[in-house]
Amino acid sequence: MGTAPRCRSCRARTGHLVLDLGLQPACDYFPRCDSPGPDPDYPLQMWLCSACGLAQLVADPTVPEEPKGAEPAALIAQAADAVAAAEAAGFLRSGGKVAEYGSPHGGSWLGLLADLGLAPVRDGEPADVVVDCFGLMHAADQAAALAERAARVAEGGVLLLQYHSLDAVIRHGQWNVLRHGHYAYYSTTALVTMLGAAGLRAESAWAFGLYGGTILLAASRNTAGAAPAAQSVWSLLAEDARVGVCDQAAVAGLQRDCRAHADGLRTWLRAERTAGRTVLGYGAASRAVALLRLAGIDNALLPAIVDASPAKQGRRMPGTDIPVVHPAELGARLPGAVLLFLADLRAEVRASYPEVEAAGGRWVDADALSSRHHDASGCLQHEPEPLQAPAPGRADAADRQS
Ligand SMILES: [Zn+2]
């Protein structure tokens, strides 16, 4: 860790470390259960560029594995909503050509766009609609990746960028979005600056509830006759300013959120064990890896995590000894509580595994265990145990939310 970070977008070297999760295993590599560990670990840090405002991963020595899990219904529903919004605004015209930059996590829009009469172009060809749905964040060189996408926007065309917005990450205390392989964490403010550098200007935007705050931004070429940004864009910029997405102190609040979350999880699991209740996890998500590690959770407190992806079964969570097991274990073990690591799956899993609640078990949102600062949409089914000592500065975080 010798030299100061250099911005992945504007190349500036001035900025601040805003979140440091210490040494973490690669969250996308699930070792076999018979692999004893310890797993190799690497620094995991977020840096906020003072020049362009882009929050970003400092260094990434890991090799991406990105095992494709089952595509969540929430992501599929979101794609349909986003495409409908873009179509209603006139950005998706039948007969147009589309280029898609996909995410390794799935969620392609090409099927939906084909239904509207848009056909894909070949690699590298220009297109009327260039779509990037959670793809751009996987590029280590942000400036180059955005320039490549911008260059493919045909005359009169549009770039549709969808991202989990940093203002939502801050408002909901979603510190565990930080992971190896995800190089950028966009605020609309930073993205508008990045688009400008790539010769594009933001035109319209739509906000969705996915992940607590997902934005679809439409950008076109920054020509003399380009349309001015719609009110929807200005509203997002105003909200960014209110939350403080470019303010190192506001973004660094994620460090407090992280400690409170880890403390809350550990306290709750210990209380469940003391009460003699069996707890299983659900969702061997990459975002659960750092949480389990920071909270020091092993299989004595959480004996297994259920996941529907066959690729993860028979393996264990990185950095701990908790095995990943088949969903049939929910019916076999009849846990008193299932700790849900992917809140967006709540409706899906409740419908898929009625045996849990039929046997008196309950679904508990792991994100809601982080002291008082939980997502308003978290629908707590269980009041988390109070923390032993409230972390200092929690009131500030709550203020930011109100
Ligand atoms: Zn920068």
What's the 190 CA to ligand 1 centre distance in angstroms? 8
pLDDT tens-place string over residues 26-47: 877 888 988 888 888 899 999 9
Does residue 375 carry a pLDDT above 60?
A: no
The yes-or-no verdict on residue 396 having pLDDT over 60 is no
CA distance 283 to 309: 9
Q: What is the pLDDT of residues 287-311, one digit of tens each?
A: 899 999 999 999 999 999 999 988 8
How much is the pLDDT for 374? 42
Instruction: Name the residues around ion ligand 1, CB cutoff 5 A.
Output: 7, 9-10, 12, 49, 51-52, 54
CA of 245 to the centre of ligand 1 (A): 13
Q: What is the pLDDT of residue 25?
A: 87
Largest Cα separation within the chain, whole Å, is 69
Compute the average pLDDT of residues 63-68. 58
Provide mean pLDDT across the span 184-194: 97
Q: What is the reported pLDDT for 219?
A: 97
Model pLDDT for residues 131-178, shown as the tens digit of each residue: 999 999 999 999 999 999 999 999 999 999 999 999 999 999 999 999
Question: Among residues 24, 64, 106, which one has the least CA distance to residue 320?
Answer: 24
pLDDT: which is higher, 143 or 314: 143
What CA–CA distance (Å, rounded) separates 100 from 162?
A: 12
Token output for 181: 């392989």
Average pLDDT over residues 191-219: 95
Q: Which helix (H) or strand (E) holds 98?
A: strand 97-101
Q: Give the distance (Å) from ligand 1 centre to CA of residue 225.
A: 28
284 C-alpha to center of ligand 1: Å? Answer: 33
Q: pLDDT-based confidence at 394, cuts 50/70/90?
A: very low
Per the listing, tokens 């997902």 go with 214
DSSP 17-48: EEEEEEEEE-TT---BTT---PPPEEEEEEEE
End-to-end CA distance of the chain, in Å? 38
What pLDDT was estimated at residue 252? 95
Distance 94 CA to ligand 1 centre (A): 37
Predicted confidence band of residue 365 (pLDDT cuts 50, 70, 90): very high
The rounded Å distance from CA 371 to ligand 1 centre is 33
pLDDT above 70 covers a percentage of the chain that reads 89
- For the stretch 214-225, pLDDT in tens is 999 999 998 877
Per-residue pLDDT band at 69 (split at 50, 70, 90)? low
Say how far residue 6 (Cα) sits from the centre of its chain: 23
Give the Å distances, CA to CA, from 85 to 91, 107, 160: 9, 17, 11
3-state secondary structure 112-168: HHHHCCCEECCCCCCEEEEEEECCHHHCCCHHHHHHHHHHCEEEEEEEEEEEECHHH
pLDDT at 402 (0 to 100): 30
Contacts (Cβ under 8 Å, ≥6 apart) of 26: 39, 40, 42, 62, 63, 65, 180, 318
User: How many A from CA of 195 to the centre of ligand 1?
Assistant: 12
Structure-token match 């909503």, residue found: 81
| CA–centroid distance, residue 4 to ligand 1 (Å) | 13
CA distances from 359 to 339, 368, 383 (A): 16, 23, 20
Query: What are the tokens at 194?
Result: 């990045």
- If you write DSSP's letter for every residue of 181-240 in order, what string do you get? T--EE--HHHHHHHHHHTTEEEEEEEEE-GGG-EEEEEEEE--TTPPPPPHHHHHHHHHH
Q: How far, in Å, is the centroid of ligand 1 from the Cα of 18?
A: 14
pLDDT at residue 107, rounded to an integer: 82
Ligand 1 center–CA 144 separation, angstroms: 13
pLDDT, the chain, mean: 87
Q: What is the pLDDT of residues 233-268, one digit of tens each?
A: 999 999 999 999 999 999 999 999 999 999 999 999
Residue 193 Cα to ligand 1 midpoint, Å, equals: 9
The tokens describing 250, both together, are: 């506001």
pLDDT for the residue numbered 377 = 32
Q: Can you give the pLDDT at residue 378?
A: 34
Ligand 1 centre distance from Cα of residue 142 (Å) = 10
Distance 52 CA to ligand 1 centre (A): 4
**DSSP assignment of 264-288, as one string?**
HHHHHHHHHHHTT--EEEE---HHH
H or E stretch at 97: strand 97-101
Quote the pLDDT of residue 214: 96
pLDDT score recorded for residue 9:
97
CA distances from residue 378 to 9, 73, 256, 340, 389 in whole angstroms, order as listed: 34, 18, 19, 11, 23
Give 390's pLDDT tier (boundaries 50, 70, 90). Answer: very low
3-state secondary structure of 80: helix
pLDDT at 75: 83
How far, in Å, from the CA of 362 to the mean position of ligand 1? 44
CA of 90 to the centre of ligand 1 (A): 32
Helix (H, G, I), strand (E, B) or coil at 171: helix
Query: How many angstroms separate the alpha carbon of residue 217 from the centre of ligand 1?
Result: 20
Distances (CA, A) of 11 to 18, 140, 164, 170: 18, 12, 23, 24
Residue 63: pLDDT over 70:
no
pLDDT tens digits along 85-122: 999 999 999 999 999 998 877 788 999 999 999 999 99
Quote the pLDDT of residue 64: 60
What was the pLDDT predicted at 68?
55
